[in-house]
């Protein structure tokens, strides 16, 4: 008997990833198997019956079919719903099915043979028994369920009355969205379902994990994210797949968890860009969650205080110009009636008129902001100063000849890090000690230009003598556990002023923090990234929302913005906490510029030794579509150099595709994919070419 087996073939292989194998038994679709492939033995998934009609084995020069080496049939097969999800993701994101489906399994699982699997399953049984034992012992200690607020009651009543489908839970920070997730989860668990909760980042998991565990002490909760050991990840995955875990909490990868009793998907902070996988098979876990919910007939809760414009548009009724695809539930008030932080803008133009421009440029904090921080210090409260640029200064330059610290391998500056006196490229990692004198003219007077978090920390220390200053960015959190210990310091009140990049703004509940300041907010207004204003708005609302959840402290909470454009509508909307007005203005701009969500995009990126080779490839594949009917409704832009054109001596170019309908774009992509692979293979041999297609790219 023959079976079709899905394997993960190297990328762009001309072979179909579904291969026919001989099998002694008719294992059902979804069974994991080990099959010979070339000289190796690899993990595969039975995908269905083979082609019995193909030419008989061995006769007339036909290929001799190889046999399945082993079936891992101690494991229940991967269900049909799971297989359909993998197939959809592969088609939609234009990747091979084998790469997506096998890539979604825990890496350890793909290495096991049948005997090892049985051992792992036994270990799982033991873990399950232990978890069960811990849950009898603990069930009395379930955390108290608060009486729902009026808004929560209304939201829950509406949810109960709705047919399953995607719902945007639009609620202010601290409005009790998590409590709504917990109540929905309780309902689904009661009915025997499994609940999948997605969060943007690993370091946000402990808080929510503790809350879930406290609310559902009798339930088995597993987490799935890249911070786990391979063995932990395997056991978590197995518990979910065998239906033994009731709650699965994870980052974007968890959207591919096998959940035979799935009853609810929650996507917390749905606007967060971390839901997009940016390498390899690029997918949006948020969008896949919506698809999966539809396919499996289960509700999907997308929660945010500042939804992505895509979700907002989807949840806006058609009568208001929206797509009307999702339902929306609003919870504008904070629990306990706490006030939202007051937003204060520092008009740098006015300060410059008063004290001169030099004063503004040389000081990171304008006088009124500094005064507000001094008040916090005096009251024993904390301040957070946000700057999205790490290092001491983005460039070092020579005052005599104008030399700048560029990177020899990238079209980018090397950043000056004062702590270890290095010039470091943030793109390729190339790092050197700061030279004693200008490498071009020998003048020793090298000066930093601009300001990064290291320098900001130093300047604030001068401005606020005696204050305990902390800094959290990618440089200070490189070592495992360092982020956690620094966050703990902030929580324990050992820090008065925290300087940080956006990584501190998300999810952390700093109770004594009553001031959040963005010192260079304007950067987002003039960014080439059309999503930058949306990110800024979300960042400030999130960061400000964390400040002082304590009702008394909340009354004193402030968000400070330093800007040269105080009248900008984005800041005006921010001052009023008016996300709907901000979204309406942004959507109007997007519509008139035919940008997402009014257009659907795909970005084809190419990398080669020379910019010419990368562009040639893009031009060739663009030209191939000239007389295709599938290309009629798709706008293919000319190839351009990528925003950072050269990284690690590799030249990068890209080409944007845009269509007003998703279907039109996908019709073209489906026909295009083999052309891309063939053209790349042809060019590639001579000139080393790599390409990647990004469907629904976040940045273009």
If the CB atoms of residues 330 and 406 are measured against Zn ion, the closer one turns out to be 406
24: which residues sit within 8 A by CB, 6+ positions away? 1, 67, 68
If the CB atoms of residues 152 and 563 are measured against ligand ADP, the closer one turns out to be 152
Partner from Zn ion, ligand ADP, none binding residue 335, C-beta < 5-8 Å depending on class:
ligand ADP
- Restricted to residues 438-477, the positions that interact with Zn ion (CB under 5 A) are 438, 440-441, 443
The residues that bridge with 416 in the sheet, in sequence order, are 393, 423
Smallest gap from Cβ 424 to Zn ion, in A, equals 9
43 is in an annotated binding site: no
Query: Helices 177-190 and 205-215: crossing angle, nearest 10°?
Result: 50
Burial of 641 (0-12, 13-18, 19+ CB in 10 A): middle
Asked if 344 is part of the footprint of Zn ion (rule: CB under 5 A), the reply reads no
Smallest gap from Cβ 612 to ligand ADP, in A, equals 51
Encode 330-342: b = buried (16+ Cβ within 10 Å), e = exposed. ebebbbeebebbe
Q: How far is CA 631 from CA 481, 543, 670, in A?
A: 50, 44, 11
If the CB atoms of residues 150 and 279 are measured against ligand ADP, the closer one turns out to be 150
CA atoms within 13 A of residue 451's CA, in its CB half-sphere: 21
Kindly indicate which of the ranges 397-405, 465-473, 544-552, 627-635 contains the residues binding Zn ion, using the contact rule CB under 5 A.
Answer: 397-405
Asked if 430 is part of the footprint of Zn ion (rule: CB under 5 A), the reply reads yes
**For binding to ligand ADP (CB under 6 A), which residues are involved?**
146-149, 152, 171, 173-179, 335
Asked if 410 is part of the footprint of Zn ion (rule: CB under 5 A), the reply reads yes
Partner from Zn ion, ligand ADP, none binding residue 441, C-beta < 5-8 Å depending on class:
Zn ion
CA–CA distance, 166 with 535 (Å, rounded to integer):
23
615 is in an annotated binding site: no
Partner from ligand ADP, Zn ion, none binding residue 400, C-beta < 5-8 Å depending on class:
Zn ion
CA–CA distance, 459 with 361 (Å, rounded to integer):
12
Q: How far is CA 27 from CA 19, 33, 48, 85, 245, in A?
A: 15, 9, 9, 21, 26
Kindly indicate which of the ranges 156-164, 279-287, 294-302, 400-408 contains the residues binding Zn ion, using the contact rule CB under 5 A.
Answer: 400-408
CA–CA distance, 215 with 221 (Å, rounded to integer):
11
Asked if 411 is part of the footprint of Zn ion (rule: CB under 5 A), the reply reads no
Smallest gap from Cβ 223 to ligand ADP, in A, equals 18
Q: What is the 3-state secondary structure (H, E, C) of 407-449?
A: CCCCCCECEEECCCCEEECCCCCCEEECCCCCCCCCCCCEEEE
If the CB atoms of residues 149 and 486 are measured against ligand ADP, the closer one turns out to be 149
CA atoms within 13 A of residue 124's CA, in its CB half-sphere: 25
Asked if 300 is part of the footprint of Zn ion (rule: CB under 5 A), the reply reads no
425 is in an annotated binding site: yes
Kindly indicate which of the ranges 436-444, 463-471, 481-489, 556-564 contains the residues binding Zn ion, using the contact rule CB under 5 A.
Answer: 436-444
Smallest gap from Cβ 176 to ligand ADP, in A, equals 3
Encode 344-373: b = buried (16+ Cβ within 10 Å), e = exposed. ebbbbeebbeeeeeeebeebbbbeebbebb
Smallest gap from Cβ 147 to ligand ADP, in A, equals 6
The pair of structure tokens assigned to 19 is 């291969």
If the CB atoms of residues 332 and 641 are measured against ligand ADP, the closer one turns out to be 332
Binding site as annotated, residues for Zn(2+) = 398, 401, 407, 410, 425, 428, 438, 441
* Interface residues toward Zn ion, by CB under 5 A: 398, 400-401, 403, 407, 409-410, 425, 427-428, 430, 438, 440-441, 443
């Amino acid at each position: 008997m023959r079976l079709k087996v899905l394997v993960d073939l190297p990328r762009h292989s001309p072979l179909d990833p579904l291969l026919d194998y001989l099998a002694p038994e008719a294992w059902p679709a979804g069974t994991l198997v080990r099959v010979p492939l070339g000289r190796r033995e690899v993990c595969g998934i039975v995908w269905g019956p083979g082609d019995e009609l193909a030419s008989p084995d061995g006769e007339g020069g036909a290929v001799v079919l190889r046999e399945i080496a082993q079936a891992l049939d101690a494991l229940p097969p991967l269900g049909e719903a799971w297989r359909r999800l993998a197939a959809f993701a592969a088609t939609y994101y234009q990747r091979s099915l084998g790469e997506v489906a096998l890539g979604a399994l825990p890496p350890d699982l793909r290495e096991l043979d049948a005997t090892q699997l049985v051992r792992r399953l036994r270990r799982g049984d033991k873990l399950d028994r232990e978890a069960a034992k811990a849950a009898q012992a603990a069930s009395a200690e379930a955390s108290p369920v608060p009486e729902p607020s009026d808004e929560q009651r209304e939201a829950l009543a509406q949810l109960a009355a709705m047919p399953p489908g995607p719902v945007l839970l639009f609620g202010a920070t601290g409005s009790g969205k998590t409590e709504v997730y917990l109540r929905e989860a309780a309902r689904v668990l009661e009915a025997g379902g499994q609940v999948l909760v997605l969060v943007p980042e690993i370091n946000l998991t402990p808080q929510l994990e503790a809350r879930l565990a406290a609310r559902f002490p009798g339930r088995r909760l597993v987490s799935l994210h890249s911070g786990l050991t391979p063995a932990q990840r395997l056991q978590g995955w197995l518990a979910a797949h065998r239906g033994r875990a009731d709650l699965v909490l994870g980052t974007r990868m968890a959207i591919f968890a096998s959940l035979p009793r799935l009853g609810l998907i929650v996507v917390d902070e749905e606007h967060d860009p971390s839901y997009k996988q940016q390498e390899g098979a690029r997918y949006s876990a948020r969008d896949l969650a919506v698809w999966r919910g539809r396919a499996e007939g289960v509700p999907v809760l997308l929660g945010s205080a500042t939804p992505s414009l895509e979700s907002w548009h989807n949840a806006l009724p058609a009568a208001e110009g929206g797509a009307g695809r999702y339902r929306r539930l609003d919870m504008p008030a904070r629990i306990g009636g706490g006030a939202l932080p007051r937003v204060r803008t520092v008009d740098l133009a006015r300060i410059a008129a008063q004290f001169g421009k030099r004063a503004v440029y040389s000081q990171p904090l304008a006088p009124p902001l500094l005064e507000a921080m001094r008040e916090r210090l005096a009251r024993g409260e904390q301040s957070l100063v946000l700057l999205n640029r790490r290092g001491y200064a983005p460039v070092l330059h020579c005052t005599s000849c104008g030399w700048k610290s560029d990177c020899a391998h990238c079209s980018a500056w090397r950043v000056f890090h004062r702590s270890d006196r290095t010039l470091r490229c943030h793109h390729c990692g190339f790092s050197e000690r700061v030279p004693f004198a200008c490498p071009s003219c020998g003048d020793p007077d090298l000066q930093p230009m601009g300001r990064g978090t290291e320098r900001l920390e130093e300047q604030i220390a001068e401005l606020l003598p005696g204050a305990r200053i902390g800094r959290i960015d990618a440089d200070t959190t490189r070592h495992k556990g360092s982020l956690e210990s620094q966050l703990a310091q902030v929580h324990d009140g050992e820090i008065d002023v925290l300087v940080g990049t956006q990584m501190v703004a998300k999810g952390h509940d700093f109770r004594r923090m009553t001031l959040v300041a963005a010192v260079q907010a304007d950067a987002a207004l003039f960014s080439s990234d059309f999503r930058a204003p949306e990110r800024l708005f979300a960042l400030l609302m999130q960061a400000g929302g964390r400040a002082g959840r304590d009702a008394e402290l909340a009354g004193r909470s402030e968000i400070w913005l330093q800007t040269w454009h105080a009248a900008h509508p984005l800041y005006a909307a921010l001052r009023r906490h008016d996300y709907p007005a901000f979204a309406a203005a942004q959507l109007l701009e997007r519509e008139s510029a035919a940008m997402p969500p009014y257009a659907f995009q795909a970005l084809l990126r190419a990398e080669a030794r020379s910019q010419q080779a990368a562009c040639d490839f893009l031009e060739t594949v663009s030209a191939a579509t000239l007389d295709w009917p599938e290309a009629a409704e798709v706008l293919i832009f000319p190839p351009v150099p990528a925003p950072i054109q050269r990284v690690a001596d590799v030249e990068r170019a890209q080409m944007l595709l845009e269509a007003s309908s998703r279907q039109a774009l996908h019709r073209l992509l489906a026909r295009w994919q083999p052309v891309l692979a063939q053209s790349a293979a042809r060019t590639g041999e001579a000139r080393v070419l790599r390409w990647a297609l990004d469907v629904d790219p976040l940045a273009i």
